[in-house]
Structure 1
Amino acid sequence: MKKVLGNKWYIFLLSAPALILLAAFVVYPIFNIVVMSLQKTNGLTPPEWIGLENFKTLLQDEAFIRANLASLGLCLLAVLCNAVLAIIVSILLCTLGPRTQKILRTAFVIPLVLSISVISQLWLTIYHADWGLLNYFLKMIGLGFLQNEWLINPKTAMICIAIVGMWWMFGMDLLMSYSGIKAIPESYFEAAQLDGAGFFNTVRYITLPLLRDVAKTCVTVSAIGGLFTFPQVFIMTGGGPGDLTQTVMMYMYRQAFSNQRYGMASAVGILVIIETCVVLGGIGWLFRQGKYRED
């Protein structure tokens, strides 16, 4: 085995299938998108080379800027209300009895096993202005004055979209953080208890430091999920009314399949890739800073 692993040709040969798949399904599509972003094309007529004109147009387009800010806002909300809240809930969950933990863990994970399409249709009926469950419930408890057209009102539409995505993804973050806490040796907590450490000191000096890598994964997954929000917007509002609930993914979809501006859509994709790399780099930097301070 050492002889095989020490031979570079064997390593290349064993890696070749994965490298071919990577080149075919990752490298080539990204290269193709970069080329298309520098062209004006509708997919039917021959493409016209226009250089960086698509990017200039995007950066001057108010609709794109609003959609991008909406996606960044959803990204921040997903991190705060999914990753951070899931870690807090999982810490509290571990203080309960085994039977209660099992019931609550199952309840939180159930939405995750459903398709986002099903989830969106479910919440669409909840938010419906005329016969939706939310307005009906508010009327039943005497808060009828709070009834609203949730997906049309500019003050509530984007919040409603955010709630759907966070409710769907919350179980994943909770499951990861809960599993991470359970992987910490019980002897650490027993030693802290013998030393007289309280609940908050135990969480601060044992749970959170040992949960750093899991927390980083939760934050990363939540940030990407918020930034790439699309299915619930497409199903529930279509980005409307107007572009009220339009995210950057919805904007790219409209440019490609409604306006047949594939070069413009490719430019949006390139900007989103760069933006995602910046966000992930920022997350990695924050967690590295936290590690150095503790060390």
Structure 2
Amino acid sequence: MNKYYSTKLSIFVFSAPALILFTVFCVYPLLPEILMSLNNHDGFRTLGFVGLDNYKDILASASFWTAHKNTYLIVGISVFMGLPLSLMFALFMDVQTPKLRRFFKTSAMLPAILSVTVVAEMWISFYEPTWGLFNSILRSIGLESWTHSWLTEKNTVMPSIGLTFLWQYIGLNAMLFYTGIKTIPKNYYEAALIDGASFTQVCLRITIPLLQDVTKYVLILSTLGSMAFYSQVRVMTAGGPGDLSRTVIYQMYYVAFETSEFGKGTAIAVVFILECLFISFLIQRFVAREKLEF
């Protein structure tokens, strides 16, 4: 019994500094925001306690749900398109010669280290209706009917912005997968080679299953990063046309700073934090539940 309590005490003593820092820098700053979300606040002073009225108002707002639809569209593009493409890119890099591998590593990381503003402005020029790259290519191959004003049409604005986001970070995720591949012991591959396994069989039976911890990390990073999508929207469309390209973060910014309704803005922020926590819990609960040991 004494051994049991001494072990628990040791765990508490060694984890206490991290818990204190987490509480001070992560939990405590949320308390004033929650309080503000329960008040009518203009950014400078509290104008009165309104309880849950701010939450009722934002949940009744059509723009709030449009922002959610756009946010989860970006999440879907990032997860269901970006992760498979990143994994395939990582597998492709792994079988290249050292010289080509260095080239692809540099190419993969370059978009991620560029400023979001630079990337957004570059893609704005690609989407330009008159002389932009995409419409020019479509006209040159006789598909002028397929041209669009990509950033001002309802059906194309969010996929266009999502493609920009996907291009910028697909290489970063590929490098994370590639790093995970390099941690897999070589003896697994040597045994598969002796058994005559093909490249596809090695990928499906060895590489991908043993990357589950890395996949879980990249999934969390991609999902939460996509949910915090803001900068590209701000630069490329400023939330337009109308409110059709606003994301949750942009809607929070718009309500708080453009309309000076900071109470409602912080209410959106609180709802957003709860959504992120819930999604993180689901990923932690259902993805890569067993710890792999090589």
TM-score greater than 0.5 by the shorter chain: yes
Counterparts of 1:10 and 1:89 in 2: how far apart (Å)? 44
1:173 and 2:173 matched: yes
Alpha-carbon contact 1:70-1:247 (below 8 Å) kept: yes
**Residues 50-89 of structure 1, C-alpha deviations (whole Å, 9 max, x = no match):** 1111111111111101111211121121111222221122
Counterparts of 2:203 and 2:12 in 1: how far apart (Å)? 49
Alpha-carbon contact 1:78-1:225 (below 8 Å) kept: no
Q: Which residue of 1 aligns with 2:215?
A: 215
Greater CA deviation, 38-47 or 160-169? Answer: 38-47
- Correspondence 1:38-187 to 2 at 5 A: 38-187=38-187
The alpha carbon displacement at 1:288 in A equals 3.9
Counterparts of 1:132 and 1:280 in 2: how far apart (Å)? 39
Counterparts of 1:76 and 1:156 in 2: how far apart (Å)? 16
Counterparts of 2:196 and 2:137 in 1: how far apart (Å)? 47
Percent same amino acid at aligned positions?
30
Counterparts of 1:9 and 1:175 in 2: how far apart (Å)? 36
Alpha-carbon contact 2:213-2:288 (below 8 Å) kept: no
The alpha carbon displacement at 1:10 in A equals 8.6
Letter in 1 for 2:148: N
Count how many residue pairs are aligned between Structure 1 and Structure 2.
Answer: 283
TM-score (normalised: structure 1): 0.88
The alpha carbon displacement at 1:7 in A equals 8.4
The alpha carbon displacement at 1:216 in A equals 0.7
TM-score (normalised: structure 2): 0.88
**Residues 191-220 of structure 1, C-alpha deviations (whole Å, 9 max, x = no match):** 111122222322222111221111111111
**Residues 107-165 of structure 1, C-alpha deviations (whole Å, 9 max, x = no match):** 12210110111111111111111232222233334433322110011111100010111
Runs of 4+ residues deviating >4 angstroms: 6-13
Where does structure 1 lack aligned partners over 5 or more consecutive residues?
1-5
CA RMSD of aligned residues (A): 2.4
Counterparts of 2:248 and 2:205 in 1: how far apart (Å)? 40
Secondary structure, counterpart of 1:47 in structure 2:
strand
Letter in 2 for 1:220: I
Q: Which residue of 1 aligns with 2:6?
A: none
Q: Which residue of 2 aligns with 1:267?
A: 267
Secondary structure, counterpart of 2:28 in structure 1:
helix
